[in-house]
Structure 1
């Protein structure tokens, strides 16, 4: 293999390892050090060494094991050269090679990734930073990749993460795996982190990067583990049902040529009906626990959308009522925009547009679904010029070529 080819192959192997195993490697290292930042630094150094050595020495048969070994050795070197050699450090040094040994209190959460999600939900960490911190620490996503899931600019999210980590250091917040008694208090943040992870993968369903699409499957797997860990909690079941409803339609969101297909035009034969039926069963299980929550409401809304698309007689005002219930539980811009669309189905485009007008423009200036919905409803009220302007703004806010092309076609049809 030539020099340039070896370098290219090494970069590809390192990138694949980062995408598939970053969170697991950080979790394993953190289980020993109880220091997320130090573990990230050690892993970053291991990746840098890989890019230097793999082109000359060849890519190891198990790249993740190689990276873990190098990162662990870097951590051990740091401990050995530290002036502070307390009993805990000595113990960690002795246990460093015990790759799979249990950590104190860690048995409360069996999955290493999920364990770190609960760690990042520590109550001393700013609430707005907890879910982003989970995605960065456990899944290795950067601020630019995550920003869309949290409806903030990448620079804003980056600053939020920097402040959160600085607070962790300044306040001396310990890296501690949660005890069983801590889990319910941190559950909501962990659910939000899992759903945000799902959203980052879902957004890339039309992108060229198939590896990031795998985050949807990882999020569903984490939620299944969480449901087993906390079987009496209905909201994990609600979130699982919500993601399964969405995932069951993934294959139908693109036409044969890769064009974007909205829900109302999807070929339902391309849906994964076994997954959709599982979602219905999971949602019924959650309802039987008789403790309603926002994720159950969102799953119920998805159930209604699927049923309506399959020909069931779902009263339009029932869909509006579901959105009202969701807004009562957890107000959000996304829910308000979706409710306006439901109002348009129930009462006409003018009523839906009025509901959109009730949202402060500053809150939706950069929210692409708002402008797409507004364009559609303006077209329905006979205002083609304003509709074209809204379509153009929606297209400008979209990062998806397929969605931009779809919006352009809709504008041309006015």
Structure 2
């Protein structure tokens, strides 16, 4: 029983950290992502069944990859797959479990670029990357994109079928084609990081870590792409504050109340270095502006304060470059800090997106600004709405404390 529990935990950890790498390697020869997913699922089931008795192998990733490859070989040899055309039997010959001990190559970037191919519908490129490369469940993706779960599932199935039928190769595209696909790749990495924080009360550390790792891989492979560098900088600067986001008793701590001494200085310096490199190209973009905003906040660790006017300028630049509801609300919040709560409320009221009425950060911002303006009754009402929409209990508890403080 104890061994079975240990195996389940080890397989769960391996699935979280290695799923995308294994899937990319399995799918590359045939471009059949669905078949690779099925083979990988079968190999994981066999590991759960056999490892409690046989013991966890020295190279568990290699074991699972080998079992999955042999499962695919059997599938390719079936009569159903012969109808689609024969494959090279020498390349896909069965492999003994003890033979596959070499390091597994990381082909996730190629898989992401396959998902971003022009032949794939634009509205499914990022969701497809999130599922295949980072292992995010289709339901979580649908919720994040505010799409019906059945609709998202159908889109993902069609996209995978398109990759196989179009024969899209798992290779790095030519430079001219790379620029066309890169934005979707960066968006997927960024989306994985955001979904991590939306997914549960306790963030999925491995998903954030994988998103940051992929951002660094892309920045290393494309060192002259300023937005790739900007995303990597954004990831490092944001992740540097993870230790301070919760108090010792697990309570939510907003950015303005965090203790900078708990921030990871090494990650901050790494992010700053990448941001400086991106700035040298003189081609600012969304992720560079977002990274610069995080850099302005991180400056509090050195100067003890945040330059509100610089932050205000950066938010305005972000809104011009990549307008979004989140950016507009954040800009209004900074506006309120610099020019006073009434100015912030006017900026918030100027947002025309109808989704603002259901956007929790907008209600939190409105409540804080109303409380700062001394409009207590309105602030309490806004806090109640923000609490109803809060994504996590810890956030709701923080807002409840603020509401009680505002009410006196």
Q: Above 0.5 in TM-score? A: yes
Against the structure 1 CA distance between its residues 260 and 112, is the aligned structure 2 distance closer, same or farther, given a 3 Å change threshold?
same
Contact residue 151 and residue 367 of structure 1 kept, 8 A:
no
Identify the residue that residue 118 of structure 2 maps to in structure 1: 123
Count of aligned pairs between the two proteins = 398
Identify the residue that residue 318 of structure 2 maps to in structure 1: 326
Contact residue 191 and residue 239 of structure 1 kept, 8 A:
yes
Residue number among 31, 36, 40 corresponding to 1:39 in the alignment:
36
1:107-158 CA-partner distances (Å, limit 9, x unpaired)? xxx841222111111112222321221111012110343456x4525x34x5
Give me the whole-angstrom Cα distance separating, in 2, the residues matched to 1:339 and 1:204.
Answer: 25
Identify the residue that residue 106 of structure 1 maps to in structure 2: none
Specify every segment of 5 or more residues in structure 1 that has no aligned partner in the other structure, as ranges.
102-109
Identify the residue that residue 375 of structure 2 maps to in structure 1: 383
Contact residue 132 and residue 161 of structure 1 kept, 8 A:
no
Identify the residue that residue 146 of structure 2 maps to in structure 1: 152
CA drift of 1:7 comes to 4.7
Against the structure 1 CA distance between its residues 397 and 54, is the aligned structure 2 distance closer, same or farther, given a 3 Å change threshold?
farther
| Alignment pair present for 1:262 and 2:260 | no
Which residues in structure 2 correspond to 1:7-406 (within 5 Å)? 7-55=4-52, 57-81=54-78, 82-84=81-83, 86=85, 88-90=87-89, 92-94=91-93, 111-147=106-142, 150-152=144-146, 155-156=148-149, 159-169=151-161, 172-181=165-174, 182-203=177-198, 207=202, 212-307=204-299, 310-311=302-303, 316-360=308-352, 362-406=354-398
Contact residue 259 and residue 402 of structure 1 kept, 8 A:
yes
Contact residue 194 and residue 222 of structure 1 kept, 8 A:
yes
Root-mean-square deviation (CA, aligned residues, Å) is 2.9
Specify every segment of 5 or more residues in structure 2 that has no aligned partner in the other structure, as ranges.
none
Contact residue 32 and residue 92 of structure 1 kept, 8 A:
no
Give me the whole-angstrom Cα distance separating, in 2, the residues matched to 1:58 and 1:147.
Answer: 38
Against the structure 1 CA distance between its residues 24 and 111, is the aligned structure 2 distance closer, same or farther, given a 3 Å change threshold?
closer
Contact residue 35 and residue 175 of structure 1 kept, 8 A:
no
- TM-score for the superposition, normalised by structure 1: 0.86
CA drift of 1:54 comes to 4.1
Against the structure 1 CA distance between its residues 313 and 391, is the aligned structure 2 distance closer, same or farther, given a 3 Å change threshold?
closer
Identify the residue that residue 104 of structure 1 maps to in structure 2: none
Give me the whole-angstrom Cα distance separating, in 2, the residues matched to 1:61 and 1:236.
Answer: 36
Give me the whole-angstrom Cα distance separating, in 2, the residues matched to 1:376 and 1:116.
Answer: 44
Give me the whole-angstrom Cα distance separating, in 1, the residues matched to 2:25 and 2:159.
Answer: 23
Identify the residue that residue 105 of structure 1 maps to in structure 2: none
Against the structure 1 CA distance between its residues 7 and 177, is the aligned structure 2 distance closer, same or farther, given a 3 Å change threshold?
same
